Amino acid sequence: MGLVLRSWVANEAGKHCLLVVWLAVSVWLFWRTFSLYSSGPQYYYLHQMLGLGLCLSRGSASVLNLNCSLVLLPMCRSLLTALRGTHQVNSRKARRLLDKSKSFHVVCGVAICVLSVVHVSAHLVNAVRFSVRYSDDFPALNLAQHRGQDPRVLILTTVPGITGVLLVLILFLMFTASSYSIRVCNYEIFWYTHNLFILFYVILMVHVVGGAVKYQTNVEAHPPGCIWANRSKASSDMWSNQEPQGETEEESKVASPIVCREDAHFQPHFPQTWLWVLAPLCLYCVERLYRCIRGSAPVTVVSVIRHPCDVIEVRMLKSGFKAWPGQYILLNCPSVSSFENHAFTLTACPTQNKETFGIHIRVVGDWTECFSHLLFPELEHSEILPMMHQRRYPKLYVDGPFGTPSEEVFNYEVSVCVAGGIGVTPFASILHALLDGCSQYKLRRLYFVWVCRDLQCFYWFAELLCGLHHKLWEENRPDYLNIRLFLTNTQQLQGLTEEKYRPLSSRLVIGRPRWNLLFQEIGRSNQHKKVGVFCCGPKGISRELHKLCNSFSTSGTVFEYNKESFS
Amino acid sequence: MGKIEWAMWANEQALASGLIYLTGGIVGVAGQLKGWEFAAFGIAAGVFVCLLEYPRSKRAKGTSVERTGQYCFTVCVKAFGPLTRNYYVRAFLHAALCVPGGFMLATVLGCVCLGMASLIYLSAAIHGEHWEPIMPKMEPLKHAAQSIKHPPQNPPPRPPPELRRKRTDDLESAAYVNPIPVTANES
């Protein structure tokens, strides 16, 4: 039981801790603002007019400030890549938190939606109260022009009202287009509506300037509830009908009545939201600008190779491009679509010997189909074309590289890489890096598990795997790389029959992998060690592996789970 | 780039606005605010829109992701035939349902959101989309091959026992070729 807990803590504790801290900060902020508005002397008259709605709306507004500023930070991808790569963040636990940046963005986004509902409902009640409880004593406090003004007119004719309505509409559009099914089916709708966030922030800055909520500036000279020398009470008689309880309490409280020296002065707040939101917004804008400038240099396509099962390998050259194994790039091809950027993991990073970098693209959607037609205009031609006979390749722009969890493979002593189909691409770049030299890394043993549905898919990297296997055998490190290939299509008996792929054919298993047995075997061979598990593949595999990592309890090994995800 | 399926987005919007309409209606009726009759209508309209929009349509190209437990709703919605298949009908229905919400403060938000969903549905209808029910796939039963009913009557042909005995002195001539070629079972 203790070992299972240890596995769970190693895998899940970090992100849950962060979530608890975020929740605690939000609740504290809400509570602090709530109590300030309900009992602060400078809001006494406003609170008497508006009641609970004031405190709820201001409390939710302060937490909205926090979340609107936090939601931008996980999307500064270059910044996160730099944090991850330059080992500024030394602890692996902290780097693993960076893997969850997209989930944190989603959590903040959902919090913004929920709090907006609270904020809007409270302000609708405030609008009604502004109109019904129009104050004759303190005209500066009013938002309505006269008593009983229609609250809908109030909303549509004031700056905070109109901007609030626009903000809700934009938020509604962004929220409904962000569900998982829309992202999977129609990514463009999600992308274009999500880019409305810049309009959202601009309107938000205008929304807080409205000055509907005012505080009293001269609390010492005019203590709330004080009485005038020639009048019985400073507050209006109008409220005596609605709050008879409050009146008697006040009369008994004010035993020795304080005399007002001045009339109450009211002033709207300095828009606090600007302080919260401007810094992350500027950071994000600077980052987008940097990415734009960095991605504006076109790349030269060196070679294009066609592989079986609809996979194309594109080798490119770009001056000043540096990448680590496991990182990915965003490809933009204006001839196919001007605004779409598609993410592809690098399968070969530029090294000192070889400056080209490569990606493997699986042709599965309309963008990739168009792109492949541009690269191979005549389908019957042979696969490889050297630079001399270069065709007119389309212009390409590359944004990146960006970091992923797979960069951590080298930082564990033992790593397990599980790939499903085309998900092998991040691990291919790692194998390429190992070809250049494996002694400079902390990694001592790599288990490479590749599950494919089609036998032809293994040919994508068969040469790479055999080459690395031979090199490690020559260097007398036969236990460094453990290859397991699984073919899930059990219709016919198949095998890799080529002589040069003999190391692979003996490691090919027909049928689905049994993860439990595999993990037990790995645990037995690596007792009392921390093993990094990296998965890039379908949801079914990753879910099963995650569960196994959380609950593994034999042989003292702890499996730490790291998952790649793009959408 | 590529065909965008507007109906999917309109469906998400309509479901969300149905919920907002419903919530606004409940607040209006519970608080006995002015114009609570509109709020009561909002509750009914919100529930109706949620029920209508819960089952997702089948995508024209690609895999469709169902919502949990949507099969019974699919059957009900399918029963109305062309009324629910056509998105023009849905667009005008949502536009008509959202108008009364505009008269009361609590349901104003639901009215606006449902109006937007109605516009997107109109766009989907103009692009020629329509609602298709997602029916569960029936797996065809795997039948055993016919040859299972006719097992072979005779054992496979073998050479006589003298040839079959192990002849370690002359390995080359001890090998024999099967008179009938051995193939995989065609079924």
* Average pLDDT over every residue of B68-86: 85
Q: Can you give the pLDDT at residue A5?
A: 83
Residue of B3, B34, B109 to mutate, interface with A, max A Cβ within 10 Å: B109
Share of chain A above pLDDT 70, in %: 91
Nearest residue of chain B to residue A128 (CA atoms): B105
Q: Pick the residue with more confidence: A122 or B64?
A: A122
**Predicted confidence (pLDDT) at residue A535 exceeds the cutoff of 80:** yes
Say if the Cβ atoms of B105 and A124 lie within 8 Å: yes
Q: How far apart (Å, rounded) are the C-alpha atoms in residues A281 and A200?
A: 12
φ, ψ of residue A552 to 5 degrees: the values are -75, 130
Q: Pick the residue with more confidence: B30 or A178?
A: A178
Which of A121-130, A316-325, A479-488, B114-123 has the weakest average pLDDT?
A121-130
Nearest residue, CB atoms, A152 vs list B9, B12, B105: B105
Place of tokens 């009561």: B40
**Predicted confidence (pLDDT) at residue B1 exceeds the cutoff of 90:** no
**Dihedral, A382, A386, A388, A389 alpha carbons, nearest 10:** 20
Residue A311, both tokens: 């996979």
Confidence category of residue A248, pLDDT binned at 50, 70, 90: very low
Give contacts of A179 with chain B, Cβ < 8 Å.
12
Place of tokens 């190779």: A305
Confidence category of residue A347, pLDDT binned at 50, 70, 90: very high
Q: Which residues have CB under 8 Å from A496's CB, separation 6+?
A: A455, A458, A462, A504, A505, A508
The answer to whether A293 faces chain B, any CB pair under 8 Å, is no
Give contacts of B8 with chain A, Cβ < 8 Å.
181-182, 185-186, 189
Q: Pick the residue with more confidence: A375 or A66?
A: A66
* Average pLDDT over every residue of A234-261: 50
Question: Could you name the CATH architecture of A297-402?
Answer: Beta Barrel (2.40)
Nearest residue, CB atoms, A182 vs list B8, B109, B116: B8
Q: Can you give the pLDDT at residue B31?
A: 75
Q: Can you give the pLDDT at residue B69?
A: 84
SS3 call for A542: helix
φ, ψ of residue A242 to 5 degrees: the values are -85, -30
Q: Can you give the pLDDT at residue A145?
A: 79
Confidence category of residue A503, pLDDT binned at 50, 70, 90: confident
Which of A81-85, A314-318, A520-524, B5-9 has the weakest average pLDDT?
A81-85
- Please return the burial class of A33, using the count of CB atoms within 10 Å of its CB with bins 0-12, 13-18 and 19+: buried
* Average pLDDT over every residue of A365-381: 78
Provide the CB-side half-sphere exposure for A301 (13 A, CA): 23
Give contacts of A366 with chain B, Cβ < 8 Å.
1-2
The answer to whether A132 faces chain B, any CB pair under 8 Å, is no
Q: Where in chain A is the domain with CATH 3.40.50.80?
A: 405-563
Q: How far apart (Å, rounded) are the C-alpha atoms in residues A71 and A284?
A: 11
Which of A341-350, B49-58, B175-184 has the weakest average pLDDT?
B175-184
Report which secondary-structure segment, H or E, holds A547. helix A539-551
Instruction: Measure CA A76 to chain center.
Output: 9
**Predicted confidence (pLDDT) at residue A357 exceeds the cutoff of 90:** yes
Kindly report the average pLDDT of chain A as a whole number.
85
**Predicted confidence (pLDDT) at residue A241 exceeds the cutoff of 50:** no
Give contacts of A177 with chain B, Cβ < 8 Å.
9, 12
Judge contact between A490 and A511, C-beta under 8 A.
yes
Q: How far apart (Å, rounded) are the C-alpha atoms in residues A403 and A323?
A: 9
The answer to whether A374 faces chain B, any CB pair under 8 Å, is no
* Average pLDDT over every residue of A43-69: 90
Q: Where in chain A is the domain with CATH 2.40.30.10?
A: 297-402
Q: How far apart (Å, rounded) are the C-alpha atoms in residues A261 and A215?
A: 18
Give residue A51's region: left, alpha or beta (phi > 0; psi -120 to 50): left
Confidence category of residue A253, pLDDT binned at 50, 70, 90: very low
**Predicted confidence (pLDDT) at residue A380 exceeds the cutoff of 50:** no
SS3 call for A305: strand
**Predicted confidence (pLDDT) at residue A475 exceeds the cutoff of 50:** yes
Q: Which residues of B105-125 are buried (b: 16+ CB within 10 A; e: fewer)?
A: bbbbbbbbbbbbbbebbbbbb
The answer to whether A184 faces chain B, any CB pair under 8 Å, is yes
Closest CA to A417 of A561, A517, A539, A525: A561
Q: Can you give the pLDDT at residue A483?
A: 93
Give contacts of B13 with chain A, Cβ < 8 Å.
172-173, 176
**Predicted confidence (pLDDT) at residue A566 exceeds the cutoff of 70:** no
In this predicted model, what pLDDT tens digit does every residue of B121-177 receive, in sequence order? Answer: 999 999 888 888 888 777 777 777 777 777 888 888 887 777 666 666 666 766 667
Residue of B9, B13, B15 to mutate, interface with A, max A Cβ within 10 Å: B9
Say if the Cβ atoms of A181 and B8 lie within 8 Å: yes
Could you give the ipTM of this predicted complex? 0.74
Q: Can you give the pLDDT at residue B167?
A: 62
Judge contact between B112 and B97, C-beta under 8 A.
no
DSSP annotation of B127 reads T
Say if the Cβ atoms of A121 and B27 lie within 8 Å: yes
Q: Which CATH number fits domain A405-563: 3.30.450.70, 3.40.50.80, 3.40.630.30, 3.90.330.10?
A: 3.40.50.80
Closest CA to B80 of B126, B128, B43, B133: B133
Say if the Cβ atoms of A172 and B13 lie within 8 Å: yes
The answer to whether A335 faces chain B, any CB pair under 8 Å, is no
Q: How far apart (Å, rounded) are the C-alpha atoms in residues B10 and B19?
A: 14
Kindly report the average pLDDT of chain B as a whole number.
83
**Predicted confidence (pLDDT) at residue A35 exceeds the cutoff of 70:** yes
The answer to whether A373 faces chain B, any CB pair under 8 Å, is no
User: In whole angstroms, how far apart are CA B30 and each of A53, A151, A293, B27?
Assistant: 17, 19, 56, 5
Q: Can you give the pLDDT at residue A360?
A: 93
Nearest residue, CB atoms, A186 vs list B8, B27, B109: B8
Say if the Cβ atoms of A337 and B65 lie within 8 Å: no
Q: Can you give the pLDDT at residue A249?
A: 42
**Predicted confidence (pLDDT) at residue A71 exceeds the cutoff of 90:** yes
Give contacts of A185 with chain B, Cβ < 8 Å.
5, 8, 59, 62, 65
Say if the Cβ atoms of B4 and A120 lie within 8 Å: no
Give contacts of B16 with chain A, Cβ < 8 Å.
172, 175-176
Q: Can you give the pLDDT at residue A247?
A: 41
Q: Can you give the pLDDT at residue A447?
A: 95
**Predicted confidence (pLDDT) at residue A244 exceeds the cutoff of 50:** no
Confidence category of residue A254, pLDDT binned at 50, 70, 90: very low
Nearest residue, CB atoms, B65 vs list A121, A181, A337: A181
Confidence category of residue A257, pLDDT binned at 50, 70, 90: low
Q: Pick the residue with more confidence: A422 or A148?
A: A422
Q: Which residues of B touch A (CB under 8 A)?
A: 1-2, 4-6, 8-9, 12-13, 16-17, 27, 33, 56, 59, 62, 65, 105-106, 108-109, 112-113, 116
* Average pLDDT over every residue of A145-163: 83
